[in-house]
A and B are shown apart, each in its own frame.
Chain A
């Protein structure tokens, strides 16, 4: 019995002759937030369904706290937020959550605070059919919090949420992780995940092509860093010629350098003294990294 929340070893899923998940290994520790990225059809949802025991695996093995996927012990500790949460239209939010609480063996008293936590107290007694997509998503999040899960699998959780709700959503995710829950988030919203994920796992056609922290991925990808120099007024031409960068407008110069050359460039910029007003260092974003790994520019 390991202390890892989730251990996936060489998992394989076939649909007909096509392998939708191939030889995939991934581990999640308690309190860790892992972002699962990949194009549509890369196998993210299939992987999550395999972990939940909703679909059989054709090879390898998955262990959820030492139990098999779909095992009652595994289910009790796992929470799931599906991509498109479709609750029954005729039930109210409170009734739907009460059903989940009863199935999870939680007392009735947990429901009202949970609805409050996700900001649904006022709408709770209206039918879900009258709710907006964002409200349904928040109800989905409320059921994730039921029964203090040790592993949370969130499939595209922020699609349909407005920026404010997204902020609240990630606050709740951080709280979960701080309490020791392992969180796996599949998403397309790369900029949101950038600051939050401890690790980034990238799927390409069913294969895991990256599984590392953002810093390590940056180092590995060796994508160029951009330096944006803001010059004193009307000096961009001179600065551009002295630094060898591209003039953007009358006050801006852009330099592209590889990660190792960054400090040398910064030194040269500092030497320019009064010619330079400001400089921004823009490392490759998660989006750049994602494009790099997910389109297969790096063969692994």
Chain B
């Protein structure tokens, strides 16, 4: 079983490298992270926080958009494309289960995403440290950011597989992926904001809103990183929203989402007739 998963993963990793996904994603992460680290250095003086602390805040905001997008770009073709090419039918005539197949792809794609994320954030951390703008606390915040970004990416990879299995073709899967991306990173928050304004600080705002916020992996990611340290909360002004819920909730959401989404993808793959 392990041998078959690794065989699939090795082939998928090669494909991700050869079609330049890894290179493009790495360069993108690197450019944005470095730009934010140094462009973000301008307003730090007044708050008295170091360079890396501020850039972790900027990179968090960036990652909320960029990481899900990169993950969906990698995943939308994973099932639908194989079905269209006829490759899935052939693979499934071999003694490999659909779970093994999906796990193999997941392993390779999470790895590819992790490489891009670590390269981007790692270089930023290094650059900030060399220029004297980092301390132990801000380096720890960067580590949290890196790990949680991988979890966020894994979630959207699995969501992408589910869409890819449900869609009628790669084109439809790409369309669905865009819709899901916009909903999770933008419309969901707008909806909550509207509800808050309408509720005007009532029971919804107190009891339900924080949990709804935490239920969205993108928001959980934001809360986990921005509320993680007092300095960051100070830098972004997000601490108000997070006071109402315990700190473990965001971690739980980030840890549970990849597993739940993978389960959904596996269920969706069951319906596929290659």
Interface, chain A (partner B; CB < 8 A)? 49, 52, 54-56, 70, 72, 75-76, 78-80, 82-88, 90-91, 95-96, 98-100, 102-105, 127, 143
Contact = CB atoms under 8 A, between A and B. Distances in A.
Nearest to B90: A82
B14 A90 contact: yes
Interface string B72-115: 00000000000001110111111110000000000000000000
A9 to B, nearest CB: 22
23 contacts: A56-B273, A72-B95, A75-B93, A76-B95, A82-B89, A84-B86, A85-B86, A85-B90, A86-B85, A88-B11, A88-B15, A88-B87, A90-B18, A91-B18, A95-B14, A99-B7, A99-B8, A99-B10, A99-B11, A100-B94, A102-B4, A103-B4, A127-B18
A82 B86 contact: yes
A80 B90 contact: yes
Contacts of A91: 11, 14-15, 18
Nearest to A100: B94
Q: Rank and list the top 10 A-B pairs by shortest CB-CB distance, nearest first.
A: A102-B7, A86-B85, A90-B18, A103-B94, A80-B93, A99-B11, A86-B86, A75-B95, A103-B96, A72-B95
B259 to A, nearest CB: 25
B87 A87 contact: yes
Contacts of A80: 89-90, 93
A90 B90 CA distance: 17
B1 to A, nearest CB: 11
A96 B90 CA distance: 12
B274 A54 contact: yes
A75 B19 contact: no
Contacts, number: 72
A147 to B, nearest CB: 9
Contacts of B15: 88, 90-91
A55 B273 contact: yes
Contacts of A76: 95
A52 B95 CA distance: 11
Contacts of B4: 102-103
Contacts of A105: 3, 95
B159 to A, nearest CB: 23
Main secondary structure of the interface of A (DSSP, over half): mixed
B90 A103 contact: no
B89 A54 contact: yes
B94 A75 contact: yes
A56 B271 CA distance: 11
Given A91-B15, A99-B7, A49 B89 contact: yes
A10 to B, nearest CB: 22
A95 B93 contact: no
A127 B15 CA distance: 11
Nearest to A80: B93
Most A-side CB within 10 Å, residue of B6, B11, B14, B89: B11
A161 B87 CA distance: 20
Nearest to B274: A54
A100 B92 CA distance: 11
A119 B13 CA distance: 28
Given A54-B93, A91-B15, A105-B95, 14 more contacts: A54-B89, A76-B95, A79-B93, A82-B86, A84-B86, A86-B85, A86-B87, A91-B14, A91-B18, A99-B8, A99-B11, A100-B94, A103-B96, A104-B95
Contacts of A143: 90
Contact of B3 (A49, A70, A102): A102
Interface in B230-274: 273-274
Contacts of A103: 4, 7-8, 91, 94-96
Contacts of B8: 99, 103
A85 B86 CA distance: 7
A70 B90 CA distance: 12
A90 B273 CA distance: 25
A55 B271 CA distance: 11
Contacts of A99: 7-8, 10-11
Nearest to A140: B90
A240 B106 CA distance: 76
Given A82-B90, A99-B7, A90 B19 contact: yes
A91 B95 CA distance: 21
A72 to B, nearest CB: 5
Contacts of B90: 80, 82, 85, 143
Nearest to B91: A103
